[in-house]
Amino acid sequence: MYTLYLGNKNYSSWSLRGWLAAKLSGAPFCEVMVGLVGYFNPANRAFSPTARVPVLHDGDTVVWDSMAIAEYLAERHAGMWPAAGEARAFARCASAEMHSGFSVLRNDMTMCVRERVDVRPWSAELAHDIERVSTLWSEGRSRFGSGGAFLCGDFSLVDAFFGPVAYRFRTYGVTPSGVAGLYLQALLAHPFMREWEAAALAETSVVEADEPRVIYRDKLAARTFAGSGTA
């Protein structure tokens, strides 16, 4: 049985990707929860070479980084990438772009499953990232999505990589139009996503560095003051 080390489910977007990949594999795995402490906790080196999560243990084999976990599992379990070559190429490219890019989206819209907050106006850089995600979603659904509700039809690893974005978009009120918006709703409604969300909402720990209402305290306070009509 695999062992998967994860951070707080309310906040840890990287852990969500690894967990969705493990669920998609269909293989049994044991979860070990690791509380997030700042950027990283050196004590985590006992199970993680980078002291970060997620980390997958398969006997003596240790696999770190969500992309490496996804590929390791896909080598051992069928059906995790789309079967058709062109769709599989798109799925891998979109997953890699999500894994390595969108730094402004990551920084300005931290994942916080239970939160709902509007922090508009968005910066031009953030709006660009949001538009690029919407374009990828529309392209996947239009070109490869006819066989199901997800980017390449059936739920696959590319959807796992965009799972955290779905929570981010919901938290910050991002509502893509057209097929991208329908995809967002389908992704949020997937049983794996609902299972993760239920566990996240049951958590009681708070990491203030990842809380939107802490990160955007001044912006939200200024908006409240402006809306109060106080002269």
* Co-location of 33 and 121 in the same domain: no
Domain count, the chain: 2
Q: Provide the CATH number for the domain around residue 159.
A: 1.20.1050.10
Residue 218 covered by a domain: no
| Collapsed DSSP state (helix, strand, coil) of residue 165 | helix
Identify the domain boundary among 29, 45, 76: 76
Domain range for 6? 2-76
Same domain, 105 and 70: no
- Integer angstrom CA distances of residue 108 from 82, 104, 111, 129, 140: 31, 6, 10, 11, 25
Cβ count within 10 A of residue 131:
11
Residue 171 lies inside a defined structural domain of this protein: yes
Domain end position, chosen among 76, 100, 132: 76
More confident residue, 6 or 41: 6
Instruction: Check whether residue 97 and residue 157 sit in a common domain.
Output: yes
Give CA–CA dist 16/7, Å, rounded: 9
For 88-142, write each residue's pLDDT tens digit. 999 999 999 999 999 999 999 999 999 999 999 999 999 999 999 999 999 999 9
196-223 pLDDT per residue, tens: 999 999 999 998 888 998 988 877 776 5
